[in-house]
Structures are given as structure tokens and as C-alpha cells.
Amino acid sequence: MRRRSIAVGLILAAAAGMGAWGGTRVPPLQTKGGAPAEDDALKGRGYADGEMNSALQGPGEKFKIEEAGPWAGDALKRAPTTASTTAATRETTEGDFVVKDFRFRDGETMGELRLHYATLGKPARDAAGRVTNAVMLLHGTGGSGAQFLQPQFAGELFGAGQLLDTAKYYIILPDGIGHGKSSKPSDGLRAKFPQYDYDDMVAAHHALAEHLGVEHLRLILGTSMGCMHSFVWGETYPEFMDALMPLACQPAQIAGRNRVWRKMVMDAIRNDPEWKGGEYAAEPKQGLRTALDLLLIAGSAPLQMQKNYPTRDAADKYLDDYFTARMPGLDANDLLYAVNASRNYDPLPGLEKIRARVMYVNSADDFINPPELGIAEREIRRVKGAKFVVIPISDATRGHGTHTWAAVWKQYLAEVLDRSAR
């Protein structure tokens, strides 16, 4: 392994509004400036360490749907810079863990599955030598653990005295299967890469935790796809964590409009003649262009887009810039696999298995998880002691991407950490 210093900027914000445990909507934000369950997928595996040799930011970042578009970056450019902003840095350790003979849920095996990760802070141990301060953060579709080093997340949570102060917590940032610098189709197998799903991704996360010597997690926080992984974690390994904080998803099978737009993304790639069954010599650009169109709409926030691009010319330029930034380096198989991984997700039948304290947060301007469906409020009642919050639309929300803007919801993180303390 090696260490590098990652600059972590700070965004100045203040949050207001708390709700009672159970489903609730909150006032708009005013801003100012144990033993796991049996796991068949892990039986018979051997483990080996590897070393990372490339930059933390991976090419998979180019198609992520959770940032709610480039206006997030625009806001960061306008964020105030202070002495604490430039002084705040954290030591980040990166590594690769290679799982030997990983068996996927469908029975397929992979001789060596590489799981990339980064960590911040150091593990603290009790008298028995067990790690007591580990936190795992789970990224969204097309993202990587690097997304949590962005100022709007890290700058609100990782600093001295903040909720996930790295002097207090051992923070694990894994890249899921098919994402970041973990094994993925574009490494060489292309369409012969195993058809992984969310259960496989969570099994790999669990194997990584054990490899790092972590038998119990203080918290799992997941965004978008990571939100869904949080529910899978809670059902598959119900005694493995104290608290779960899923952000931006539904605790039910992906259906309705959410399934329709995902299928449109996959169909756009598969129906492009240049895709050639995944064995293309050049990227199927028309299919990728259509896929990016859909990803843009799914992750967008109407209020923010109208505010940031108030004229026809501004909107047109934004769209041109979006494709210029996102298309290079985008791999069709990686995108197709990442979207298709959600096909078997359905935690609904097993919600009662969850034992961790749950703080579940969605935002009202999320195209992918609109509050009018009522699914979250209805079904989360089946999880004992869980709380569900819908954050109303405001100048601080970013549509689906609100999940990475910690100033909007960090009061609820404080609440679940307090409620789940032992």
C-alpha cells in the first residue's frame, strides 16, 4: 500500500429541521454560505493482497448518475475558501484486495476478483482486539469510493470535530465490482465478464471488511446504488453493523418508471449495431449518447438547472459541455453491466430481518425515487426503530444527487449515530 494526501475542502453551511422516528417530511434547509449470516458466495475462497499503482479517480466516474450533473461542480467553484478549507487534508491509504475463486450468485466463478479500496483514519480496538470504529461508505452506479472525497461530502463530515472525524473513525471506501479500479468488463473480459448483481457486490464488500480485520461496522452509509446495497447488507448480515443510513433509493424491487429508464439505457447500447454483442472495436457512440441523455435526466434537479441555465443558449452549452466531458473514456460494457446489476434487487420480502438502527433519507426532487410513490414511507415501518425522512425541495437540494451533499442531511447522521451508540 501507499499513502497520499488528499485535499479536503470545506463548504460552510448550516442545517435545520429534525423529525420524529418513523416516516416524516422536514422543513426546507436554510443554507448560509456480531456474526454475519451464512454466506455461500464466500465459501472456499482464498485471499491475496495487491497494490494499487494509479490515481484515485477512476475512469468509471465518467458515467455516474449520482452527482446530479455538472452543476454540482459549478456550485463547488463558487463555494467560499477559508483558511480551514486549504488546511484540511487527510491521509488516505489505498489498496487492492484480490479474492481468489470468487463465486457469483449465478454459480459463475472468477479466478481473481480485484477489489480496490481506500481508507481514512486508523482502526481502534477493544480489549479483545476487535475493531470498534469502522465505517463503510458505499457509492452509486458508475461511481467509486473517490466520490466521498469531494468537498461537499468530505468537507462536511471528515474534519476535526465533525461527525465522521477521521481521527475518531476508520473509514472504508470500496470500489464495487465493475466500478472504479475494481475488476470490471473493460479490463479485458468484456462481455465475458460475469454478470454480477447487488448480492455479489455486497458479498465482495463483506469479504473486504473481513480482510481488513473488521468483524463489525459502526455504520454503513450508502448513496443511490449504495443505498440499495445498505438494505442488502442489513438483511444478509443483520448483526454486522450498528447503524445503516441509506440515501436515495427504494426498499423494493426496481419497477415502474425506474425500471423503464434503466432498460432504455441498456437497450440503447445493445441495439447500437456497433456494440457487436459487447465485442466492439470502437465504442458504440450512438448508444452511449442515448444512454447519457437518459442518465442526465434521471440525475437532474429542475430547480437547479433552471437557476444555473436560465436561457436557451446556456442550456444548450451545458448539454454540449456535458457530452464533451462524459463521453471520452466511457466504456459501453462497464455501463451496461453497472445498470444491469440492479435487476435482482428486491429487499422487500426480508425487511424484518434488519436489526441495525436505520436512518433512511430521500429528497423530494429525486426523479428516480419520487416521494409520491409512497413506497418508502409504507415499507420502512416494517424495520423496527427505523426512521424515514423526505427532504423538501430547496436551493440546497440537488435532485437524486442530494445524497452526496452532506450539509443537507448531516443532522440525521448525527441522530442515527447517537441512537445507535452502544
Q: What is the DSSP string of 383-416?
A: STT-EEEEEPP-TT-BTBGGGG-HHHHHHHHHHH
Burial 242-279 (b: 16+ CB within 10 A, else e): bbbbbbbbbbbbbeeebeebbeebbebbeebeebeebe
Cα-based torsion angle of the residue sequence 185, 190, 191, 195 in order, rounded to the nearest 10 degrees: -20
pLDDT for 5: 38
Task: Give the SS3 label for residue 188.
Answer: coil
Task: Give the SS3 label for residue 327.
Answer: coil
Is pTM beyond 0.85? Reply is no
Answer whether 116's CB lies under 8 Å from 96's CB.
Answer: yes
Pick out the chain residues at pLDDT < 70: 1-90
Round to whole Å and give the CA distance between 139 and 223: 6
Residue 275 per-residue DSSP state: T
Q: Which three cell numbers stand for residue 36?
A: 454475519
Round to whole Å and give the CA distance between 128 and 117: 26
Answer whether 115's CB lies under 8 Å from 47's CB.
Answer: no
Task: Give the SS3 label for residue 353.
Answer: helix
pLDDT tens, 175-211? 999 999 999 999 999 999 999 999 999 999 999 999 9
pLDDT for 205: 98
pLDDT for 298: 95
Pick from 49, 66, 27: nearest CA to 115: 49
E-only strand ranges, 123-162: 134-138
Q: Please state the length of the chain.
A: 422
Helix (H), strand (E) at residue 119: strand 109-120
Pick from 33, 34, 39: nearest CA to 12: 33
Answer whether 179's CB lies under 8 Å from 205's CB.
Answer: no
Round to whole Å and give the CA distance between 11 and 31: 11
pLDDT tens, 268-296? 999 999 999 999 999 999 999 999 999 99
Q: Which three cell numbers stand for residue 186?
A: 473493460
pLDDT for 182: 98
Q: Which residues are registered as beta bridge partners of 48?
A: 98
pLDDT for 90: 52
pLDDT for 226: 98
Round to whole Å and give the CA distance between 200 and 161: 36
pLDDT for 329: 85
Pick from 190, 184, 186, 343: nearest CA to 276: 190
